[in-house]
Chains A and B, each alone.
Chain A
Amino acid sequence: MSEAGTETVAAEAGAAPEKVTPGRLVLRHMLGHRATTAALAGIVLMILVAIFAPLLAPYDPNYANVLHRHQGPSWVHLLGADGIGRDTLSRIIYGTRTAVWTSFESVALALVVGVPIGLLVGFLGGWWDRLAMRVTDIFQSIPSLIFAFALIAVLGRGTNQTALAVAIVFAVILMRIARALALREREFLYVDAARVAGMPTWHILFREILPNTVGPIIVEAAIMLGSAIMIITMLSFLGLGLDATVVDWGSMLDEARNYQATHPYLALPPGLAIIFAVLMFNFAGDGLRDALAGKQSARRAPRRRKKPGSAAGAVAAAELPAPDVIAVRGLKVEFPGGEAGAKPLEILSDVSFSLRRGETLGLVGESGSGKSMSALSLLGLVPTPGEVTSGEILFGGRDLAALPEAELAAIRGREIAMIFQDSIAGFSPVHTIGEQLAEPLRIHKGLGEAEAKARVVELLDLVGVPNARERIDDYPHQFSGGMAQRASIAMALSCGPRVLLADEPTTALDVTIQAQVLDLLGDLQRRFDMSVLLITHDLGVVAETCDRVVVMYAGQIVEEGAVADVLSRPRHPYTYALLTATPREDVRMDRLPTVPGSVPPPWAWPRGCRFMPRCAFARAECGQGPVPFVGGTRCLRAGELQLEVVR
Chain B
Amino acid sequence: MRRLILLRLGMSLVSLVLAAAFVFFLIQLSPVDPVVLALGEGAEPQRLDAMRRELGLDQPYVVQFLSWFAGILRGDFGTSFFTHRAVLETLLERLPVTISLLVGGGAIAIVVGLAAGFAAGLRPGGWMDRVVTSAVSLALAVPGFWFALMLGLLFAVELRLLPVAGYVAFEDGPLLWLQSLVLPCVALALHGMAVIGRHTRGVVIDVLGSPFIEAIRARGTPPGRIVRRYVLKNAMVPVLPVIGVQLAIIIATSSVMEKVFVLPGLGTLMVASVISSDFPTLQGAIVVIAAMVILINLLVDLGLGLLDPRVRPQ
* Direct A–B contact present (CB less than 8 angstroms): yes
The chain A residue sitting closest to B230, CB to CB, is A428
**A233 on the B face (CB < 8 A):** yes
Q: Is the CB of B220 within 8 A of A444?
A: yes
Q: Is the CB of B225 within 8 A of A153?
A: no
**B59 on the A face (CB < 8 A):** no
**A143 on the B face (CB < 8 A):** yes
Contacts of A477 in B (CB 8 A): 309-310
Contacts of B142 in A (CB 8 A): 271, 275, 278
Q: Is the CB of A138 within 8 A of B234?
A: no
Q: Is the CB of B219 within 8 A of A141?
A: no
- Minimum CB–CB distance from B193 to chain A (whole Å) comes to 14
Flag B126-170 by CB within 8 Å of A: 1 or 0 each: 100100000001101111011001101100011000001100000
Contact flag A429-B308 (CB < 8 Å), given A150-B26, A440-B219: yes
Q: Which of B15, B23, B146, B220 is close to A443, meaning CB atoms less than 8 Å apart?
A: B220
The chain A residue sitting closest to B276, CB to CB, is A153
Contact flag A151-B256 (CB < 8 Å), given A298-B124, A410-B220, A413-B219: no
| Contacts of A147-174 to chain B: CB distance below 8 A | 149-154
Contacts of B30 in A (CB 8 A): 153-154
Contact flag A145-B252 (CB < 8 Å), given A3-B195, A234-B145: yes
Contacts of A275 in B (CB 8 A): 138, 141-143, 146
- Minimum CB–CB distance from B182 to chain A (whole Å) comes to 16
Contacts of A146 in B (CB 8 A): 252, 255, 270, 286, 289
**A631 on the B face (CB < 8 A):** no
Q: Is the CB of A475 within 8 A of B222?
A: no
Q: Which of A154, A271, A443 is close to B149, meaning CB atoms less than 8 Å apart?
A: A271
Contacts of A240 in B (CB 8 A): 271, 274-275
Q: Is the CB of A153 within 8 A of B277?
A: yes
- Minimum CB–CB distance from B84 to chain A (whole Å) comes to 19
**B66 on the A face (CB < 8 A):** no
- Which of B2-10, B69-77, B203-211 lies at the binding interface? B203-211
**A92 on the B face (CB < 8 A):** no
Q: Is the CB of B212 within 8 A of A283?
A: no
Contacts of B115 in A (CB 8 A): none
**A94 on the B face (CB < 8 A):** no
Contact flag A239-B29 (CB < 8 Å), given A426-B215, A440-B220, A443-B220: no
Instruction: Give the interface centre of A7, A270, A278, A430 by most chain B CB atoms within 10 Å.
Output: A430
Contacts of A599 in B (CB 8 A): none
**B242 on the A face (CB < 8 A):** yes
**A279 on the B face (CB < 8 A):** yes
CA distance A24 to B148 in the complex (A): 42
The chain B residue sitting closest to A283, CB to CB, is B137
Q: Which of B26, B255, B290 is close to A154, meaning CB atoms less than 8 Å apart?
A: B26
Contact flag A274-B275 (CB < 8 Å), given A256-B149, A417-B218: no
CA distance A231 to B27 in the complex (A): 21
CA distance A274 to B146 in the complex (A): 9
Contact flag A150-B126 (CB < 8 Å), given A425-B211, A428-B234, A440-B219: no
The chain A residue sitting closest to B209, CB to CB, is A299
Contacts of B29 in A (CB 8 A): 154
The chain A residue sitting closest to B146, CB to CB, is A271
Contacts of B255 in A (CB 8 A): 145-146, 149, 238
Contact flag A426-B205 (CB < 8 Å), given A141-B19, A301-B126, A413-B219: no
Contacts of A383 in B (CB 8 A): 214
CA distance A275 to B150 in the complex (A): 13
| Contacts of A31-74 to chain B: CB distance below 8 A | none
CA distance A213 to B297 in the complex (A): 29
| Contacts of A418-469 to chain B: CB distance below 8 A | 418, 420, 422, 425-431, 436, 439-440, 443-444
CA distance A151 to B23 in the complex (A): 9
Q: Which of B195, B223, B256, B282 is close to A234, meaning CB atoms less than 8 Å apart?
A: B256
Contacts of B290 in A (CB 8 A): 141-142
Flag B277-298 by CB within 8 Å of A: 1 or 0 each: 1010010001001100110010
Contacts of B47 in A (CB 8 A): none
Contacts of A270 in B (CB 8 A): 146
Q: Is the CB of A150 within 8 A of B27?
A: yes
CA distance A440 to B226 in the complex (A): 12
**A137 on the B face (CB < 8 A):** yes
Contacts of B112 in A (CB 8 A): none
CA distance A140 to B300 in the complex (A): 14
| Contacts of B186-212 to chain A: CB distance below 8 A | 191, 195, 199, 205, 209-212
- Minimum CB–CB distance from A505 to chain B (whole Å) comes to 12
Q: Is the CB of A430 within 8 A of B233?
A: yes
**B67 on the A face (CB < 8 A):** no
**B259 on the A face (CB < 8 A):** yes
Contacts of A3 in B (CB 8 A): 195, 242, 245
Q: Is the CB of B220 within 8 A of A414?
A: yes
Q: Is the CB of B15 within 8 A of A141?
A: yes
The chain A residue sitting closest to B213, CB to CB, is A428
**A253 on the B face (CB < 8 A):** yes
Contacts of B259 in A (CB 8 A): 237-238, 257
Contacts of A134 in B (CB 8 A): 18
Q: Is the CB of B18 within 8 A of A137?
A: yes
Contacts of B297 in A (CB 8 A): 140-141
* Interchain Cβ contacts under 8 Å between A and B, 20 examples: A134-B18, A137-B15, A141-B290, A145-B253, A153-B274, A237-B145, A239-B275, A253-B145, A253-B149, A257-B259, A298-B125, A379-B217, A405-B223, A412-B220, A426-B212, A426-B214, A428-B212, A429-B308, A443-B219, A477-B310
A-contacting residues of B (Cβ < 8 Å)?
Answer: 15-16, 18-19, 22-23, 26-27, 29-30, 123-126, 129, 137-138, 140-143, 145-146, 149-150, 152-153, 157-158, 164-165, 191, 195, 199, 205, 209-212, 214-223, 225, 229-230, 233-234, 237, 242, 245, 248-249, 251-253, 255-256, 259-260, 270-271, 273-275, 277, 279, 282, 286, 289-290, 293-294, 297, 307-310
B-contacting residues of A (Cβ < 8 Å)?
Answer: 1, 3, 7, 134, 137-138, 140-146, 149-154, 226, 230, 233-234, 237-240, 253, 256-257, 260-261, 264-265, 267, 270-271, 274-276, 278-279, 282-283, 298-301, 379, 381, 383, 405-406, 409-414, 417-418, 420, 422, 425-431, 436, 439-440, 443-444, 475, 477-478, 488, 491-492
8 tightest CB-CB pairs across the interface, nearest first?
A413-B220, A143-B252, A412-B220, A426-B215, A413-B219, A271-B146, A278-B141, A279-B141
